[in-house]
Structure formats: structure tokens, C-alpha cells
Amino acid sequence: MELTKRQINNHLKKKLIRITDTTYLRGCVVRVERVRICSYNNEVDVRIYGEVLSSLGEWKPLSEYPPRKLRQFLRSPHRKVSDEVSLWVDMWIGGCGVELKNITLVNNEDDV
């Protein structure tokens, strides 16, 4: 049975993805909000919460950093965010790669 786009998005929203084993990111929780299925790449909107290790060695919430730099940091292949989201989306859709299109930062894990 082929799932509709709405059914796929509802399945993807159900699970919180917890990202572990990263050096500069702790307590990271991601929820896939929406997927746009394209022929060459799937564009994904996510909500994310976590703490980042500052250069002073302190853990600070994501919201304390400039949005543009933070989004570049999260899209980096070394952070595992793209990989974990890609695995979850590929399980339901399959095929193409995943591009993090919109990243919404939240201040509380309950808001994810």
C-alpha cells in the first residue's frame, strides 16, 4: 500500500530522534516536522533542542548562538544530525538523500 504525503509526515513526526556520541553537542533531540519529496533530494524541516560546548568549556543552549552560524554547525556532516534524520526519513521514504531545509531552534526539550 502506497502512503500519502500526509501519512508519511504523520509517521515521521511521531518519533523524537536523540543524537548521542558527539563531542560538541549534548542532549540533542530532533523531531522531523515536514518532508518535501523531490526527485533529486528530500527537503526536511526539523525542530531541534540541545546544548553546545562553547570555546570556554561551558555548555550553552542552542538559542544563545547566532542562528546562521548555528545552522551551519548543525548541517555539518560531523555533527550526526543530518545522518540520523536521513536514516529515519529513508526508512519511510527510501531512495534519495536528505537536505535539512528549515531548522527551528527551541528552548525546551518539551517544545520539540
pLDDT digits (tens, 9 = 90+) for 79-98: 788 888 888 888 888 767 78
Mean pLDDT across the chain: 86
Q: Is the pLDDT of residue 4 over 70?
A: yes
Average pLDDT for 9-13 = 89
* Mean pLDDT to the nearest integer, 66-77: 84
Q: Which domain holds residue 63?
A: 5-111
Q: What is the pLDDT of residue 95?
A: 67
Number of domains in the chain: 1
Q: Locate all alpha helices (DSSP H) within the chain, ordered by sequence.
A: 5-13, 67-75, 81-92
Give the per-residue pLDDT at 77.
Answer: 77
Compute the distance between CA of residue 44 and CA of residue 90 in angstroms, rounded to an integer. 12
| Contact criterion met (CB below 8 Å) for 98 and 88 | no
Q: Please determine, for residue 1, whether its predicted confidence score (pLDDT) is greater than 60.
A: no
